[in-house]
Amino acid sequence: MFNLFRTGVLIAALTALFMVVGYFIGGQTGIFIALAVALGTNLFAYWNADKMVLSMQNAREIDRGAAPELFDMVGRLAQRAGLPMPKVYIIETDQPNAFATGRNPQNAAVAVSSGLLRRLNANEVAGVVAHELAHVKHRDTLTMTVTATLAGAISMLAQFGLFFGGGNNRNNPLGGVGALLMVFLAPLAAAMVQMAVSRTREYEADRGGAEISGEPLALASALTKIANAHDTTVNIAAERNPAMAHLYISNPLRGVGTDNLFSTHPATENRIAQLQKIAAELGETSYSQPPHAEFASSPDNPGWRVPPFSAQDDTPRRGPWG
């Protein structure tokens, strides 16, 4: 119930921001135009934002035949979490990362990068997938996906209005200055609203993921590897669509600090410290290598195979695995 309330508040705040942008670009007429655009965008985002996000991040759906180990792992973890089997996607980038999307658990999708599968062992991948399933279980995915779509639409509206001379509208209280301000301030305000999707959801998903997988230190190890690879890999799709950054388990953008006013994620060291506390609560004192038997190779699961990059993949290979 709380997450539904939070989603409603965010949509209302972004709709109000749409109207403010419309007012400074087109006066009172701009308010009504912006309101109509906002309502249409809200409806579109609710029903189609997940598909739009997956497309913008160059994610491709896979079946069990393409990656049986990953597909079966997601199924086991979803069952453990009490969730329906989500769709499974691969993001073709060397950067290790993952996200979940979908308006509800019945229409959820989990996307992991090829880089994640190549750099992490099976237990670490399980920890990351469990984290994303915790987002699905907590119904964070609707909030995160709709916010990303609307924030991007606000920026587009501001630039669209200036391009078509909205600043010359005589009903605009600040004329061209108002339109110009919106070009710079509207994306900033949208980013601030995105921050209202509290970073505590990441801590909550870390805890939920640790409970689902049963191995908080495996998730901590995964976060460490993801953070260490950040400076040597680039997620081109995320860089082109920075409004989507908060969807990922770790910020996919380069040159972005953590734990500041505009951060989408808590600092990795803080997340690891929480996971270490959770591990102590569960009586786990160390992370075992190689992976535990449940996610390791077996006669029925002959190895951890990674689907190859497609011919369309243009991600630079900057790490030692590239």
pLDDT at 19: 80
Of the ranges 34-38, 44-48, 89-93, the best mean pLDDT one:
89-93
Which tokens hold the place of 127? 């920890």
Q: Higher model confidence: residue 83 or residue 164?
A: 83
Q: Which of 40-44, 140-144, 200-204, 261-265 has the lowest mean pLDDT?
A: 261-265
Which tokens hold the place of 195? 């921050």
pLDDT at 246: 82
Q: How large is the average pLDDT for residues 211-221? A: 94
pLDDT tier at 318, thresholds 50, 70, 90: very low
d(CA 257, CA 248): 15
Other Cβ atoms within 10 Å of 2 Cβ, number: 8
Q: Higher model confidence: residue 67 or residue 254?
A: 67
Cα–Cα distances in angstroms (integers) from residue 163 to residues 17, 140, 153, 245, in the given order = 19, 35, 15, 27
pLDDT at 8: 74
Those residues whose C-beta lies under 8 Å from the C-beta of residue 53, and which sit 6 or more positions away, are 101, 145, 148, 149, 244, 247
Are 118 and 140 spatial neighbours (Cβ–Cβ below 8 Å)? no
Closest to 215 measured CA to CA, from 77, 123, 78:
123
Percentage of the chain modeled with pLDDT above 90? 40
Percentage of the chain modeled with pLDDT above 70? 68
- 256 pLDDT above the threshold of 60: no
Q: For 270-280, b where at least 16 C-beta lie within 10 A, e where not — what string?
A: bbbebbeebbe
d(CA 95, CA 322): 10
Those residues whose C-beta lies under 8 Å from the C-beta of residue 290, and which sit 6 or more positions away, are 121, 296
d(CA 6, CA 11): 9
pLDDT tier at 221, thresholds 50, 70, 90: very high
Are 18 and 35 spatial neighbours (Cβ–Cβ below 8 Å)? yes
Q: At what angle do helices 122-137 and 68-81 cross, to 10 degrees?
A: 40
Those residues whose C-beta lies under 8 Å from the C-beta of residue 176, and which sit 6 or more positions away, are 167, 168
d(CA 34, CA 36): 5
Q: Higher model confidence: residue 312 or residue 5?
A: 5
pLDDT at 2: 61
Closest to 58 measured CA to CA, from 253, 245, 307, 236:
236
In tens, the pLDDT along 268-286 reads 999 999 999 999 988 876 6
Q: Across the chain, what does the average pLDDT equal?
A: 78
pLDDT tier at 197, thresholds 50, 70, 90: low
pLDDT at 300: 43
Q: Which of 172-176, 180-184, 236-240 has the lowest mean pLDDT?
A: 172-176
Q: Which of 147-156, 226-235, 309-318 has the lowest mean pLDDT?
A: 309-318
Spot the catalytic one: 92, 124, 132, 215. 132
Q: How large is the average pLDDT for residues 71-77? A: 96
Q: Higher model confidence: residue 102 or residue 170?
A: 102
Q: How large is the average pLDDT for residues 118-144? A: 92
Cα–Cα distances in angstroms (integers) from residue 248 to residues 112, 197, 253, in the given order = 9, 13, 10
Closest to 166 measured CA to CA, from 15, 29, 13:
29
- 23 pLDDT above the threshold of 70: yes
pLDDT tier at 297, thresholds 50, 70, 90: very low
pLDDT at 33: 77
d(CA 271, CA 144): 19
Q: How large is the average pLDDT for residues 253-266? A: 64
- 236 pLDDT above the threshold of 50: yes
Instruction: Verify whether residue 284 is a known catalytic residue.
Output: no
pLDDT tier at 128, thresholds 50, 70, 90: very high
pLDDT at 289: 55
d(CA 34, CA 1): 29
pLDDT at 107: 94
pLDDT at 177: 58
